[in-house]
Amino acid sequence: MSELTFEQMLEESLKTIHTGEIVEGTVIDVKPDELILNIGYKSDGILPKYEYTNDSSVNLLEAVKVGDTMEVKILKVNDGEGQVALTHKRIVADRGSKKLEDAFNNQEVLTAKVAQLLNGGLSVVVDDVRIFIPASLVSDVYEKDLSKYENQEISFVLIEYNPKKRRYIGDRKQLLVKEKAAAQADILERIKEGDIIEGVVKNVTDFGAFIDLGGIDGLLHISEMSWGRIENPKKLFKVGDTVSVKIKEINGTKIALTAKFDDANPWKDAASKYSVGAVVTGKVARMTDFGAFIELEPGVDALLHVSQISKDHVEKPSDVLNKGDEVTAKIVDFNEASQKISLSVKALLAPEAEEEAAEEAPAEEAPATEE
Protein backbone atom coordinates (compact mmCIF):
# COMPACT_ATOMS: atom_id res chain seq x y z
CA MET A 1 0.00 0.00 0.00
CA SER A 2 1.44 3.36 -1.02
CA GLU A 3 1.75 6.09 1.54
CA LEU A 4 -0.87 8.83 1.47
CA THR A 5 0.27 12.28 0.46
CA PHE A 6 -0.05 15.15 2.91
CA GLU A 7 -2.85 16.67 0.86
CA GLN A 8 -4.75 13.37 0.90
CA MET A 9 -4.34 12.97 4.65
CA LEU A 10 -5.48 16.60 5.20
CA GLU A 11 -8.53 16.08 3.01
CA GLU A 12 -9.49 12.89 4.84
CA SER A 13 -9.15 14.69 8.15
CA LEU A 14 -11.68 17.28 7.04
CA LYS A 15 -15.33 16.51 7.49
CA THR A 16 -17.85 16.30 4.75
CA ILE A 17 -20.81 18.68 4.80
CA HIS A 18 -24.23 18.73 3.23
CA THR A 19 -26.72 21.42 2.31
CA GLY A 20 -29.06 22.15 5.22
CA GLU A 21 -26.61 20.84 7.81
CA ILE A 22 -25.94 22.90 10.93
CA VAL A 23 -22.29 23.20 11.92
CA GLU A 24 -20.24 25.28 14.27
CA GLY A 25 -17.77 27.72 12.76
CA THR A 26 -15.04 30.02 14.02
CA VAL A 27 -14.77 33.57 12.68
CA ILE A 28 -11.41 34.10 10.98
CA ASP A 29 -12.14 37.42 9.29
CA VAL A 30 -14.65 40.23 9.75
CA LYS A 31 -15.58 42.57 6.90
CA PRO A 32 -18.24 45.29 6.76
CA ASP A 33 -20.57 43.16 4.63
CA GLU A 34 -19.58 39.57 5.41
CA LEU A 35 -17.94 37.16 7.83
CA ILE A 36 -15.50 34.40 6.91
CA LEU A 37 -15.64 31.28 9.06
CA ASN A 38 -13.57 28.14 9.43
CA ILE A 39 -16.14 25.34 9.52
CA GLY A 40 -13.63 22.45 9.49
CA TYR A 41 -14.09 21.93 5.78
CA LYS A 42 -11.56 22.23 2.96
CA SER A 43 -13.18 25.55 2.00
CA ASP A 44 -14.00 28.45 4.26
CA GLY A 45 -17.59 29.47 4.80
CA ILE A 46 -18.92 32.88 3.71
CA LEU A 47 -21.63 34.46 5.84
CA PRO A 48 -23.03 37.68 4.25
CA LYS A 49 -24.41 40.35 6.57
CA TYR A 50 -27.94 39.79 5.25
CA GLU A 51 -27.66 36.12 6.28
CA TYR A 52 -26.28 37.04 9.67
CA THR A 53 -29.19 39.28 10.74
CA ASN A 54 -32.32 41.01 9.47
CA ASP A 55 -31.33 44.16 11.31
CA SER A 56 -29.69 46.41 8.73
CA SER A 57 -28.44 48.76 11.46
CA VAL A 58 -26.04 46.12 12.86
CA ASN A 59 -22.36 46.94 12.35
CA LEU A 60 -20.53 43.64 11.78
CA LEU A 61 -17.17 45.17 12.74
CA GLU A 62 -18.61 45.95 16.19
CA ALA A 63 -20.91 42.97 16.63
CA VAL A 64 -18.48 40.16 15.77
CA LYS A 65 -14.80 39.55 16.55
CA VAL A 66 -12.23 37.18 15.11
CA GLY A 67 -12.26 34.00 17.19
CA ASP A 68 -16.00 34.15 17.92
CA THR A 69 -17.85 30.89 17.35
CA MET A 70 -21.39 30.51 16.09
CA GLU A 71 -23.75 27.96 14.64
CA VAL A 72 -24.40 28.27 10.93
CA LYS A 73 -26.45 26.37 8.37
CA ILE A 74 -25.03 25.24 5.03
CA LEU A 75 -26.91 26.90 2.17
CA LYS A 76 -24.59 25.74 -0.63
CA VAL A 77 -21.50 23.55 -0.41
CA ASN A 78 -20.06 25.44 -3.38
CA ASP A 79 -21.27 28.94 -4.00
CA GLY A 80 -19.73 28.97 -7.48
CA GLU A 81 -16.43 30.36 -6.28
CA GLY A 82 -15.34 27.28 -4.35
CA GLN A 83 -16.61 28.62 -1.01
CA VAL A 84 -19.41 27.47 1.23
CA ALA A 85 -22.48 29.72 1.51
CA LEU A 86 -23.74 30.01 5.09
CA THR A 87 -26.63 31.47 7.03
CA HIS A 88 -26.95 32.24 10.72
CA LYS A 89 -30.22 34.18 10.84
CA ARG A 90 -32.25 31.23 9.56
CA ILE A 91 -31.16 29.10 12.50
CA VAL A 92 -32.16 31.90 14.84
CA ALA A 93 -35.43 32.32 12.93
CA ASP A 94 -36.20 28.59 13.10
CA ARG A 95 -35.60 28.55 16.83
CA GLY A 96 -37.46 31.84 17.16
CA SER A 97 -40.39 30.35 15.29
CA LYS A 98 -40.53 27.50 17.77
CA LYS A 99 -40.35 29.98 20.61
CA LEU A 100 -43.19 31.96 19.03
CA GLU A 101 -45.22 28.80 18.57
CA ASP A 102 -44.95 28.08 22.30
CA ALA A 103 -45.73 31.72 23.11
CA PHE A 104 -48.77 31.61 20.82
CA ASN A 105 -50.10 28.39 22.33
CA ASN A 106 -49.56 29.60 25.90
CA GLN A 107 -50.53 33.24 25.24
CA GLU A 108 -47.18 34.27 26.70
CA VAL A 109 -46.39 37.97 26.88
CA LEU A 110 -43.46 38.88 24.62
CA THR A 111 -41.33 42.02 24.73
CA ALA A 112 -39.37 43.45 21.82
CA LYS A 113 -38.08 46.74 20.46
CA VAL A 114 -39.99 48.37 17.62
CA ALA A 115 -37.84 47.78 14.55
CA GLN A 116 -39.88 49.70 11.99
CA LEU A 117 -42.82 52.09 11.69
CA LEU A 118 -45.22 51.04 8.96
CA ASN A 119 -48.24 52.78 7.46
CA GLY A 120 -50.58 50.27 9.02
CA GLY A 121 -48.81 49.57 12.28
CA LEU A 122 -45.52 48.51 13.87
CA SER A 123 -42.95 45.84 13.11
CA VAL A 124 -40.98 44.12 15.87
CA VAL A 125 -38.37 41.38 15.63
CA VAL A 126 -38.14 38.41 18.01
CA ASP A 127 -35.16 36.12 17.32
CA ASP A 128 -35.04 37.35 13.71
CA VAL A 129 -38.74 36.69 13.17
CA ARG A 130 -40.68 39.78 12.11
CA ILE A 131 -44.00 40.31 13.85
CA PHE A 132 -46.59 42.83 12.67
CA ILE A 133 -48.73 44.75 15.15
CA PRO A 134 -51.62 46.51 13.36
CA ALA A 135 -52.26 50.14 14.32
CA SER A 136 -55.67 49.15 15.70
CA LEU A 137 -53.97 46.75 18.14
CA VAL A 138 -51.13 49.02 19.25
CA SER A 139 -53.18 50.83 21.91
CA ASP A 140 -56.60 50.74 23.54
CA VAL A 141 -57.25 54.24 22.17
CA TYR A 142 -56.99 55.49 18.60
CA GLU A 143 -53.53 56.80 17.79
CA LYS A 144 -53.03 58.48 14.44
CA ASP A 145 -49.30 59.05 14.95
CA LEU A 146 -47.26 55.99 15.97
CA SER A 147 -43.88 57.73 15.81
CA LYS A 148 -43.60 57.82 19.61
CA TYR A 149 -43.12 54.04 19.57
CA GLU A 150 -40.03 54.17 17.34
CA ASN A 151 -37.16 52.22 18.97
CA GLN A 152 -39.30 51.70 22.08
CA GLU A 153 -39.68 48.33 23.79
CA ILE A 154 -43.28 47.16 23.85
CA SER A 155 -45.06 44.10 25.21
CA PHE A 156 -47.64 42.12 23.25
CA VAL A 157 -49.17 38.69 22.72
CA LEU A 158 -49.35 36.70 19.49
CA ILE A 159 -52.84 36.34 18.08
CA GLU A 160 -51.79 34.74 14.80
CA TYR A 161 -48.98 32.26 14.15
CA ASN A 162 -48.58 30.97 10.58
CA PRO A 163 -44.97 29.97 9.77
CA LYS A 164 -45.93 28.58 6.34
CA LYS A 165 -47.10 32.02 5.22
CA ARG A 166 -44.59 33.74 7.50
CA ARG A 167 -47.51 35.58 9.07
CA TYR A 168 -47.09 36.58 12.69
CA ILE A 169 -49.55 39.09 14.22
CA GLY A 170 -49.15 40.70 17.62
CA ASP A 171 -51.66 42.44 19.89
CA ARG A 172 -50.68 45.04 22.48
CA LYS A 173 -54.20 46.41 23.00
CA GLN A 174 -55.54 43.48 25.01
CA LEU A 175 -52.69 43.79 27.50
CA LEU A 176 -53.49 47.46 28.08
CA VAL A 177 -57.19 46.67 28.48
CA LYS A 178 -56.37 44.02 31.11
CA GLU A 179 -53.95 46.33 32.91
CA LYS A 180 -56.52 49.12 33.04
CA ALA A 181 -59.22 46.77 34.24
CA ALA A 182 -56.94 45.59 37.04
CA ALA A 183 -56.03 49.19 37.93
CA GLN A 184 -59.71 50.17 37.95
CA ALA A 185 -60.62 47.30 40.23
CA ASP A 186 -57.77 48.25 42.56
CA ILE A 187 -58.70 51.91 42.83
CA LEU A 188 -62.41 51.17 43.19
CA GLU A 189 -61.55 49.08 46.23
CA ARG A 190 -59.60 51.95 47.76
CA ILE A 191 -61.90 54.93 47.23
CA LYS A 192 -65.36 55.82 48.53
CA GLU A 193 -67.81 58.66 48.17
CA GLY A 194 -66.65 61.72 50.07
CA ASP A 195 -62.94 61.02 49.64
CA ILE A 196 -60.74 63.88 48.49
CA ILE A 197 -58.21 62.69 45.94
CA GLU A 198 -55.67 64.14 43.53
CA GLY A 199 -55.93 63.46 39.83
CA VAL A 200 -54.57 64.63 36.51
CA VAL A 201 -56.69 66.35 33.86
CA LYS A 202 -56.92 63.95 30.92
CA ASN A 203 -59.37 65.76 28.67
CA VAL A 204 -61.42 68.97 28.76
CA THR A 205 -64.75 69.38 26.98
CA ASP A 206 -67.47 72.04 26.90
CA PHE A 207 -69.45 70.17 29.56
CA GLY A 208 -66.64 69.21 31.93
CA ALA A 209 -63.23 67.64 32.47
CA PHE A 210 -62.18 64.00 32.68
CA ILE A 211 -59.76 63.41 35.53
CA ASP A 212 -57.39 60.42 35.66
CA LEU A 213 -57.51 59.19 39.24
CA GLY A 214 -54.66 56.73 38.77
CA GLY A 215 -56.20 53.98 36.68
CA ILE A 216 -59.78 55.12 36.29
CA ASP A 217 -61.32 58.34 34.98
CA GLY A 218 -63.82 60.53 36.81
CA LEU A 219 -66.01 63.28 35.37
CA LEU A 220 -65.84 66.75 36.85
CA HIS A 221 -68.97 68.33 35.39
CA ILE A 222 -68.93 72.06 34.62
CA SER A 223 -71.55 72.60 37.34
CA GLU A 224 -69.20 71.01 39.92
CA MET A 225 -66.04 72.91 39.02
CA SER A 226 -66.62 75.87 41.31
CA TRP A 227 -69.17 77.43 43.61
CA GLY A 228 -69.17 80.26 41.11
CA ARG A 229 -70.34 80.23 37.51
CA ILE A 230 -67.99 78.67 34.92
CA GLU A 231 -68.56 79.74 31.33
CA ASN A 232 -65.77 77.74 29.68
CA PRO A 233 -63.99 74.78 31.38
CA LYS A 234 -61.07 75.12 28.96
CA LYS A 235 -60.22 78.47 30.51
CA LEU A 236 -60.02 76.88 33.94
CA PHE A 237 -58.27 73.56 33.22
CA LYS A 238 -55.55 72.30 30.89
CA VAL A 239 -54.62 68.73 30.04
CA GLY A 240 -51.90 67.63 32.46
CA ASP A 241 -53.01 69.85 35.35
CA THR A 242 -52.99 68.23 38.78
CA VAL A 243 -56.25 68.90 40.61
CA SER A 244 -57.76 68.07 43.97
CA VAL A 245 -61.33 66.73 43.73
CA LYS A 246 -63.91 65.04 45.94
CA ILE A 247 -65.65 61.79 45.04
CA LYS A 248 -69.30 62.82 44.74
CA GLU A 249 -70.79 59.55 43.48
CA ILE A 250 -69.61 56.08 42.40
CA ASN A 251 -71.87 54.12 40.08
CA GLY A 252 -70.12 50.97 38.84
CA THR A 253 -67.05 52.26 37.01
CA LYS A 254 -68.55 55.72 36.57
CA ILE A 255 -67.26 58.30 39.03
CA ALA A 256 -68.75 61.77 39.47
CA LEU A 257 -66.42 64.37 40.96
CA THR A 258 -66.77 67.79 42.48
CA ALA A 259 -64.39 70.64 43.26
CA LYS A 260 -67.00 72.42 45.38
CA PHE A 261 -65.53 71.89 48.84
CA ASP A 262 -67.65 72.58 51.92
CA ASP A 263 -65.15 74.94 53.53
CA ALA A 264 -65.38 77.24 50.50
CA ASN A 265 -69.18 77.12 50.29
CA PRO A 266 -70.27 80.78 50.11
CA TRP A 267 -73.66 79.87 51.61
CA LYS A 268 -72.20 78.72 54.92
CA ASP A 269 -72.22 82.29 56.32
CA ALA A 270 -74.74 83.81 53.90
CA ALA A 271 -77.37 84.27 56.59
CA SER A 272 -75.27 86.87 58.37
CA LYS A 273 -74.23 88.68 55.20
CA TYR A 274 -77.53 88.69 53.36
CA SER A 275 -80.20 89.25 56.00
CA VAL A 276 -83.52 90.78 54.98
CA GLY A 277 -83.26 94.58 54.81
CA ALA A 278 -79.55 94.62 53.95
CA VAL A 279 -78.51 96.67 50.93
CA VAL A 280 -76.17 94.83 48.60
CA THR A 281 -74.41 95.41 45.29
CA GLY A 282 -73.80 92.83 42.59
CA LYS A 283 -73.52 92.34 38.85
CA VAL A 284 -76.12 91.10 36.40
CA ALA A 285 -75.13 87.49 35.62
CA ARG A 286 -78.07 86.45 33.43
CA MET A 287 -81.57 87.50 32.55
CA THR A 288 -84.92 85.90 31.86
CA ASP A 289 -88.26 87.40 30.94
CA PHE A 290 -89.34 87.39 34.59
CA GLY A 291 -86.23 88.93 36.12
CA ALA A 292 -82.47 89.29 36.37
CA PHE A 293 -80.10 87.15 38.42
CA ILE A 294 -77.59 89.25 40.29
CA GLU A 295 -74.29 87.66 41.36
CA LEU A 296 -73.55 88.93 44.86
CA GLU A 297 -70.38 86.81 45.05
CA PRO A 298 -69.17 83.66 43.24
CA GLY A 299 -71.75 81.01 44.05
CA VAL A 300 -74.42 83.33 45.42
CA ASP A 301 -77.02 84.67 43.00
CA ALA A 302 -80.13 86.64 43.90
CA LEU A 303 -83.27 87.22 41.87
CA LEU A 304 -84.30 90.75 41.01
CA HIS A 305 -87.86 90.24 39.77
CA VAL A 306 -88.94 92.38 36.82
CA SER A 307 -91.56 94.00 39.03
CA GLN A 308 -88.85 95.09 41.48
CA ILE A 309 -86.40 96.64 39.02
CA SER A 310 -87.94 100.10 39.00
CA LYS A 311 -90.86 102.10 40.37
CA ASP A 312 -91.82 102.53 36.74
CA HIS A 313 -93.30 99.68 34.75
CA VAL A 314 -90.64 97.48 33.10
CA GLU A 315 -91.75 95.08 30.38
CA LYS A 316 -88.67 92.87 30.52
CA PRO A 317 -85.28 93.15 32.31
CA SER A 318 -83.26 93.50 29.11
CA ASP A 319 -85.08 96.78 28.40
CA VAL A 320 -83.21 98.50 31.24
CA LEU A 321 -80.35 96.13 32.19
CA ASN A 322 -77.35 94.56 30.47
CA LYS A 323 -75.26 91.58 31.49
CA GLY A 324 -72.42 92.82 33.69
CA ASP A 325 -74.26 95.92 34.91
CA GLU A 326 -73.73 96.74 38.57
CA VAL A 327 -76.93 96.84 40.58
CA THR A 328 -77.59 98.01 44.14
CA ALA A 329 -80.72 96.66 45.76
CA LYS A 330 -82.34 95.72 49.06
CA ILE A 331 -82.78 92.14 50.21
CA VAL A 332 -86.49 91.51 50.65
CA ASP A 333 -86.41 87.75 51.16
CA PHE A 334 -83.79 85.20 52.23
CA ASN A 335 -84.36 81.42 52.26
CA GLU A 336 -81.28 79.55 53.44
CA ALA A 337 -82.81 76.09 52.97
CA SER A 338 -83.50 76.58 49.26
CA GLN A 339 -80.57 79.00 48.85
CA LYS A 340 -82.76 81.71 47.37
CA ILE A 341 -82.45 85.46 47.80
CA SER A 342 -84.89 88.05 46.45
CA LEU A 343 -83.89 91.64 45.75
CA SER A 344 -85.71 94.88 45.13
CA VAL A 345 -84.47 98.13 43.68
CA LYS A 346 -87.98 99.45 44.04
CA ALA A 347 -87.73 99.10 47.80
CA LEU A 348 -84.79 101.47 47.82
CA LEU A 349 -86.65 103.99 45.71
CA ALA A 350 -89.86 103.87 47.80
CA PRO A 351 -88.62 106.09 50.65
CA GLU A 352 -87.48 108.68 48.10
CA ALA A 353 -90.88 108.60 46.47
CA GLU A 354 -92.54 109.14 49.85
CA GLU A 355 -90.28 112.12 50.61
CA GLU A 356 -91.02 113.66 47.21
CA ALA A 357 -94.77 113.23 47.77
CA ALA A 358 -94.50 114.89 51.16
CA GLU A 359 -92.66 117.88 49.71
CA GLU A 360 -95.19 118.33 46.90
CA ALA A 361 -98.28 118.12 49.23
CA PRO A 362 -99.78 121.57 50.19
CA ALA A 363 -98.95 122.69 53.71
CA GLU A 364 -101.85 122.69 56.19
CA GLU A 365 -103.00 126.08 57.35
CA ALA A 366 -102.03 126.86 60.87
CA PRO A 367 -104.96 127.46 63.25
CA ALA A 368 -105.74 131.11 64.04
CA THR A 369 -104.46 132.31 67.36
CA GLU A 370 -106.50 134.41 69.69
CA GLU A 371 -105.23 137.79 70.18
Whether domain 191-263 has CATH 2.40.110.10: the reply is no
pLDDT in the model for residue 170: 97
pLDDT in the model for residue 368: 41
The yes-or-no answer to whether 107-176 and 270-355 have a common fold is yes
pLDDT in the model for residue 271: 87
Whether domain 270-355 has CATH 2.40.50.140: the reply is yes
Q: Is 13 exposed, middle or buried (0-12, 13-18, 19+ CB in 10 A)?
A: exposed
Q: State percent of the chain over pLDDT 90.
A: 63
pLDDT in the model for residue 6: 54
**Long-range contacts at 171-177 (CB < 8 A, ≥ 24 apart):** 171/133, 171/137, 172/133, 172/137, 172/138, 172/139, 173/136, 173/137, 173/138, 173/139, 173/140, 174/137, 175/109, 176/139, 176/140, 177/140
Whether domain 107-176 has CATH 3.40.50.1220: the reply is no
- Structural domain spans, the chain: 19-87, 107-176, 191-263, 270-355
Pick the CATH number of 19-87 from 2.40.50.140, 2.70.180.20, 3.40.470.10, 3.30.1490.20: 2.40.50.140
pLDDT in the model for residue 11: 53
- 8 A C-beta contact, residue 222 and residue 208: yes
Q: Which residues of the chain have pLDDT under 70?
A: 1-15, 350-371
Please report, for residues 133, 189, 199, 212, 251, the alpha-carbon distance to residue 242 in angstroms, rounded to integers and kept in the order given.
Answer: 34, 22, 6, 9, 24
